[in-house]
Amino acid sequence: MRRSKKNTEKYIALSAEGKKFEFRDILNGEVKVNNKTQKIKFRQNNGLNFIIYKNKKYLVDILEKDQNKYEIIVNGIGHSFTVESPFSYRRKKFLEKSKQNSKTESITAPMPGKIVDVLVENHAEINKGEPIIILEAMKMQNEILSHVSGTIKNIHVKKNENVMKDDLILEVEK
Amino acid sequence: MDVNGKQFKRFLERYDILAEQNSKEKAKKQHAKGKLTANERIQLLLDENTFEEVDAFVKASQTASDFGAAGNDNYGDGVIIGHGKIRGRLVFVYAQDFTVMGGSLGLVHATKIAKIQDMALKMGAPIIGLIDSGGARIQEGIASLAGYAGIFHRNVHSSGVIPQISSIMGPAAGGAVYSPSLTDFIFMTNETSYMFVTGPNVVKEVLNEEVTFEELGGANVHSTKSGVAHFIYEDEENTLRGIRKLMSYLPANNIENPPVREFNCEQPDYEEKLRDLVPDEPDKPYDVKDVIQLIVDTDSFFEVAKYYAANIVVGFARMKGKTIGIIANQPKVLAGVLDINSSNKGARFIRFCDSFNIPLLTLEDVPGFLPGTGQEHEGIIRHGAKLLYAYSDATVPKITVILRKSYGGAYCVMNSKNLGGDFNFAWPTAEIAVMGPEGAVSILYRKKLAEAEDPVLMKKELAKKYRDEIANPYVADEKGYIDEVIDPAITRRKLLSAFEALENKHVNSPSRKHGNIPL
Amino acid sequence: MKITKLLIANRGEIAVRIIKTANKLGIKTCCIKTSHEPKAHYLSLADEIIDFTDIVSDVPEFLDVDRIIEAAVAHKVDAIHPGYGFLAESPYFAQRCDDEGITFVGPSADAIYKMGNKTIAKQIATKHKVPLLQGSHGNVSNFDEAIQIADKIGYPVILKAASGGGGRGMRIVEKASQMEKMFKLASNEAEKAFNDPSVFIEKYVRNPRHIEFQIFGDKQGNIIHLGERECSIQRKHQKLIEECPSPALSPELREEMGAEAISIADAVGYYSAGTVEFLLDEDKKFYFMEMNTRIQVEHPVTEEVTGLDLIEMQIKVAEGDSLPIKQEDVQLNGWAMELRINAEDVQAGFSPSLGVVHKVIYPTGPGIRVDTGMYDDSVISPNFDSMVAKLIVHADTREEVIKTLKNALNSFWIRGVKTTVPFHKYVLSHKKFMKGDINTSFIEKELDAFYETDQDEIMLAAFLASYDFAKELENESADDVNFEKGKEINPWVLNKRLKSL
């Protein structure tokens, strides 16, 4: 046996929205939904990957994966999942509990583009929903709003700077 | 032998005590903190049923009992040592047990680690340390410090002979951090592992600075800011999986060659997509990892220090199953410029590969060294020299492909022909020159530009002319500084045959104790 | 004068669309190759290519009037079709064509100028007693003045770019305190997009429908209308779904609005294709908004319902032919709807989804038409508009159109970028949309989401992630790493290696 001992019978997939799915013996291509076992089949066609489930065809794609973090596309809609083992799932829950009192929140660029204007200053108070920067993407100027209330801590961008998606714009202290 | 006799009874009793020591309650305590026990970690790291423990029943020295160390009557003294197999190959392992006196390092504990280090070196087999320790055992005083020094000495002794890997699975404080930092690779587990020389309490006392464990020396800090950790994983199971994965690229020692993966690789030798990856505009970023993915065996690229100095990408990959080391400038981050951190990151990786007979592939797209007082005052000269030294000193097969920019000093550094590159290829998009077109024309046409009606436009036009006439791969090719300008689509095929030709490369170095790398 | 060689000064689906008609008419086509997408599909269809990839300039290729004219002369084209966008609405460009003796496929420079400047357009409308919204007479120079005018006509008001269109440089102001910020935004955006920061103000009508009339004129002075298009499904003033006819118009109202549209066009001696936009409020009162002096993105719905080829008519009119039909010949048959497929991430607030289209398969079937310039390996670049395809369906009734569209969306497959397809699926199933009860605030007010969350899809995503993870674990523990091979070293190198240690 040239593999380490692992619990490979059960996997837990957690969505970014907190949905939880459990799969047993997943490589068999079966899922249990409401105690009924359903077959899931993979089809490759013309460079596209499909899943056949309950006689329906779904276009699927793995957009990104980083260790156990997945970004999956099903019929054009993206879903973020982390895949956990029973142990790592418990660990995750434990760490979440102990982390709930974190103080700073980051605001990141929702799309790639150019910073046209920074509307806030360091140490300023900001309320949820107030605009913080104007970002130009695809020739449209978009106001980026704060999703938290608090004090602006660090502004990481400057006017006329280009940002990529998910680049840190600033941090807000709650 | 009488299995009911006194001797055998004692034999069994000891196992009962050991079992109690590793009781479920203790495991629960670790689990509650999101951590596994030392035993569980070893089981996950090694192939099933291959671990053989050594010195399980050794006890702490009872001499230094002043501060209550006498209460430590545990078997093993807080560390499990032994050997086992990863994918069928022998490795030596030690794992500190935080449930025994916080995994603190006393004399016996240290002696055990030293013992396994010695064995690994004698056998020419890799050694893996799973670290989870509060640091030196204060009660044992100087003996514990001496223990550390002994471990460090062995780390250095083994360096470049056998791969040494450390995985920080909990705290590693004070002296404990130096053993990992002397090893080849450090793994950390996010949110449950820390490394620091002085802890938050001391920082508070001395500097009156409030800092959390995570902020001071968490996995995130070390994998992004300090560059101490090479791999970061979300949980312990994945961390241990990561070590197994890394081991599959490495040879057991510096005599062997790396292992070969035998599988049918789908990566085509001819890939037209490569022609479109590098944008024609010299200032447009792209992800060099996309280039790597299309050259090496499918899904074989295993990146090292992914989040640190991301303007250079380093990592292992396979070509037709054989391990290579890749160093690539990353145009997506800071235009792929060389700075202090990226020079250090690249240099250390090259040193590792050279030590263990892993051929090097350099993918070059570098605008130069990062200018500015910040970099100059911090010693970019000194640090850039490390990269230069590492490339030049390496005797493994060295191949460079210039994808786009290759300017000035950075051209020389990135494994240029005269620095000892065995094969230097360039794509037609390559721009090789003393400096970038914009900079060059500013100097060459300073006067003309100053008098121009529209200097911006004129500069652009001159830059274009410069690019057409000077900053292209053909001038270098015709002068022999490039072996061949190749169609990007055939890069993989070219590299495969080049690496094959270089397989038995050997360079006789002048005899010396060791070189003096500009540290 | 017959056109023999046509330069298409545009890209993407509209270039493809124009080439199609040009081929039908036996006209040679000429397209512009840019460095942003040197392998674009439209280039493969053109008879001749003008290479702009080597050009060093800060002006984007399709905005560079002088260079295009220069190339047109060099390539000896006798006509230019600008498609839609900047060039189609540049009087300077039309004039330059004229000066060089090149036929501009579109209206006169004078008509473009007058209608392109919204202030002048409004003056013309006022003169011809076409109903208008109250607002500033001319441009507003600063926000203080803007506040004064807004106080007079009452909030809400809308700020618009004087030389704009397509939603850029537009901002709604609900109260005086927002004026400074909004004025700055609108003006900035106008400057960026149209090189002209001037904005004007008008009364903002809540929940109006966007109804536009396709008009067509010839150089002989005949002008007809080809019915309306309803484009009320908009997000941030960008149209997403268009249909013809509108569920809101009675034949009488159609006739009335059509006549007003013609009178506006007539006032500037309009020829070629044009679109007169109106707002229709909840009491069926309509207001003239602006006139677009070009072919519109959404022209296919009119083509489907009228059975006409609008591009062909544009070319014929440009050649000097008179219109082939009279107003009474215009028949609206059945219903047509167009969905704009944009490379946008609906889940990330419609932000651009850039990258390479690895594979795309479009739906086919009776009544289904796809206008697109995006095929396998197309690159979605930030330099261009995000609209990549238009899915158009024509059928007898609106219900049938919606049904066919839904089926079509279910066989539209794309890998590589995200598109607005999930959004369209969601809207097509919305009760109010199905009833035709829509207005320009529909997306903002009626939609609680931009796409449907299907429980099976989520489960399958979770399954795929777990499956891939399990598979990778399986692969990693596979017995295919051969350590023995690492020990098979050629004696030549082994010997030397040992000696040098």
Contact between C486 and B259 using a beta-carbon 8 Å cutoff: yes
Coil, strand or helix at B325: strand
Residues A48 and A24 in one domain: yes
Residues A120 and A82 in one domain: no
Percent of chain C exceeding pLDDT 70 equals 99
pLDDT at res. A1: 46
A interface test, pick of B85, B234, B302 with most A CB neighbours within 10 Å:
B234
Nearest to B388 by CA among B409, B367, B402, B406: B409
Contact between C492 and B506 using a beta-carbon 8 Å cutoff: yes
Residues B407 and B339 in one domain: yes
Residues C99 and C161 in one domain: no
pLDDT at res. C165: 62
Out of B173, B410, B426, B498, the active site residue is B410
How do residues B2-57 score in pLDDT, each as one tens digit? Answer: 777 788 888 888 888 888 888 788 888 888 888 899 999 999 999 989 999 998 88
Percent of chain B exceeding pLDDT 90 equals 61
Contact B320/C at CB under 8 A: no
Q: Is B175 a catalytic residue?
A: yes
Contact between C188 and A141 using a beta-carbon 8 Å cutoff: yes
Q: For A82, which residue in chain C has the nearest alpha carbon?
A: C465
- CA-to-CA distance for B474 and B469, rounded, in angstroms? 9
- Tell me whether residue B256 is in a domain: no
Q: Provide the b/e sequence for B15-29 (b: ≥16 CB within 10 Å).
A: eeeeeebbeeebbee
Query: What's the mean pLDDT in C110-124?
Result: 90
Q: For A92, which residue in chain B has the nearest alpha carbon?
A: B34
- Tell me whether residue A5 is in a domain: no
C interface test, pick of A111, A116, A142 with most C CB neighbours within 10 Å:
A111
| pLDDT at B71 exceeding the cut of 60 | no
Q: Which residues of C touch B280 (CB under 8 A)?
A: 35, 38, 53
Contact B64/A at CB under 8 A: no
Residues B460 and B496 in one domain: no
3-class secondary structure for B265-306? CCCCCCCCCHHHHCCCCCCCCCCHHHHHHHHCCCCCCEEECC
How do residues C253-297 score in pLDDT, each as one tens digit? Answer: 999 999 999 999 999 999 999 999 999 988 898 999 899 999 999
Residues C95 and C157 in one domain: no
- Tell me whether residue A2 is in a domain: no
| pLDDT at B490 exceeding the cut of 60 | yes
Residues B280 and B410 in one domain: yes
Contact between B85 and A69 using a beta-carbon 8 Å cutoff: no
Contact B241/C at CB under 8 A: yes
| pLDDT at C159 exceeding the cut of 80 | yes
Q: Which residues of A touch C351 (CB under 8 A)?
A: 110-111, 137, 165
Given B247, B282, B310, the domain boundary residue is: B247
How many angstroms separate the CA of residue A4 from the nearest CA in chain B?
4
- Tell me whether residue B348 is in a domain: yes
Q: How far is CA C394 from its chain centroid?
A: 19
Residues of chain A with pLDDT under 70: 1-8, 98-103, 137-140, 165
Number of domains in chain A: 2
- Tell me whether residue B510 is in a domain: no
pLDDT at res. B34: 83
How do residues C38-70 score in pLDDT, each as one tens digit? Answer: 889 999 999 999 999 877 777 788 888 999 999
- A neighbour chains, 3+ CB pairs within 8 Å: B, C
Indicate which residues of C carry an active-site annotation.
Answer: 294
Specify the CATH number for the domain of residue C192: 3.30.1490.20
Contact B480/C at CB under 8 A: no
Contact B373/C at CB under 8 A: no
Specify the CATH number for the domain of residue C9: 3.40.50.20
| pLDDT at B190 exceeding the cut of 50 | yes
Contact between C481 and B259 using a beta-carbon 8 Å cutoff: yes
Residues B301 and B382 in one domain: yes
Specify the CATH number for the domain of residue B144: 3.90.226.10
- Tell me whether residue C275 is in a domain: no
Q: Is B174 a catalytic residue?
A: yes
Residues B102 and B237 in one domain: yes
Mean pLDDT in chain B? 90
Contact C501/B at CB under 8 A: yes
Number of domains in chain C: 2
Residues B424 and B448 in one domain: no
- CA-to-CA distance for A150 and A173, rounded, in angstroms? 5
Q: Which domain holds residue A169?
A: 104-173
DSSP assignment, residue C178?
Answer: G
Residues B431 and B444 in one domain: no
Q: Is B410 a catalytic residue?
A: yes
How many Cβ contacts (< 8 angstroms) between chains A and C? Answer: 159
**Alpha carbon distances (Å) from C196 to A160, C82, C87, C141, C222:** 20, 21, 15, 12, 34
Q: For B231, which residue in chain A has the nearest alpha carbon?
A: A67
Coil, strand or helix at C197: coil
Q: Which domain holds residue B159?
A: 35-247
Residues A77 and A35 in one domain: yes
Residues B216 and B109 in one domain: yes
Q: Which residues of A touch B34 (CB under 8 A)?
A: 90-92, 94-95
Given A76, A99, A122, the domain boundary residue is: A99
Residues A95 and A109 in one domain: no
Query: What's the mean pLDDT in B188-207?
Result: 89
- Tell me whether residue B128 is in a domain: yes
Q: Is B409 a catalytic residue?
A: yes
Residues B230 and B308 in one domain: no
Contact between A139 and C414 using a beta-carbon 8 Å cutoff: no
pLDDT at res. A21: 92
| pLDDT at B403 exceeding the cut of 50 | yes
Q: Which domain holds residue C151?
A: 134-203
> Any idea which of C203-207, C349-353, C477-481 has the lowest mean pLDDT?
C477-481
pLDDT at res. A6: 57
- Tell me whether residue B424 is in a domain: yes
Residues B65 and B80 in one domain: yes
Contact between B508 and C53 using a beta-carbon 8 Å cutoff: no
Residues A17 and A85 in one domain: yes
Given A99, A128, A157, the domain boundary residue is: A99
- Tell me whether residue A168 is in a domain: yes
A interface test, pick of C466, C473, C476 with most A CB neighbours within 10 Å:
C466
Task: Please name the member of A4, A69, A94 whose beta carbon is closest to the beta carbon of B32.
Answer: A94
Residues A139 and A86 in one domain: no
> Any idea which of B60-74, C1-15, C30-44 has the lowest mean pLDDT?
B60-74
Task: Please name the member of C460, C461, C474 whose beta carbon is closest to the beta carbon of A27.
Answer: C474
- Tell me whether residue C72 is in a domain: yes
Q: Is the peptide bond before B285 cis (omega within 30 degrees of 0)?
A: no
3-class secondary structure for B107-140? HHHHHHHHHHHHHHHHHCCCEEEEEEECCECHHH
Contact between A4 and B244 using a beta-carbon 8 Å cutoff: yes
Going by their DSSP bridges, the two strands B302-304 and B312-319 should be labelled as: antiparallel
Q: Which residues of B touch A94 (CB under 8 A)?
A: 32-34
Q: Which residues of B touch A69 (CB under 8 A)?
A: 234
- Tell me whether residue B260 is in a domain: no
Residues B116 and B197 in one domain: yes
Torsion of CA B284, B289, B294, B296, to 10 degrees: 150
Task: Please name the member of B254, B259, B280 whose beta carbon is closest to the beta carbon of C483.
Answer: B259
- Tell me whether residue A3 is in a domain: no
| pLDDT at C386 exceeding the cut of 80 | yes
Amino acid letter, B126: P
- Tell me whether residue A1 is in a domain: no
Given A49, A65, A99, the domain boundary residue is: A99
CB C53 within 8 A of CB B280: yes
How many angstroms separate the CA of residue A108 from the nearest CA in chain B?
17
ipTM of the complex: 0.82
Given C185, C203, C221, the domain boundary residue is: C203
Nearest to A67 by CA among B290, C182, C472, B364: C472
| pLDDT at C169 exceeding the cut of 70 | yes
Residues C30 and C93 in one domain: yes
Contact B260/C at CB under 8 A: yes
Residues C10 and C89 in one domain: yes
Contact between B47 and A6 using a beta-carbon 8 Å cutoff: no
pLDDT at res. A36: 84
Question: Alpha helix (H) ranges present in C210-366?
Answer: 251-267, 299-306, 310-319
Q: For A133, which residue in chain C has the nearest alpha carbon?
A: C185
- Tell me whether residue A159 is in a domain: yes
Residues A109 and A67 in one domain: no
Task: Please name the member of C349, C413, C460 whose beta carbon is closest to the beta carbon of A110.
Answer: C349
pLDDT band at C247, cuts 50/70/90? very high
Residues A91 and A24 in one domain: yes
> Any idea which of A24-33, B38-47, B334-343, B378-387 has the lowest mean pLDDT?
A24-33
How do residues C417-463 score in pLDDT, each as one tens digit? Answer: 999 999 999 999 999 999 999 999 999 899 888 998 889 999 999 99
pLDDT band at B292, cuts 50/70/90? very high
Residues C94 and C165 in one domain: no
How do residues A68-89 score in pLDDT, each as one tens digit? Answer: 899 999 999 999 999 998 888 8
Structure tokens at C400: 């049938």
Number of domains in chain B: 3
| Residues whose CB is less than 8 angstroms from the CB of residue B311 and which lie 6 or more positions away in sequence, other chains included | B329, B330, B333, B334, B335, B336, B337, B338, B339, B342
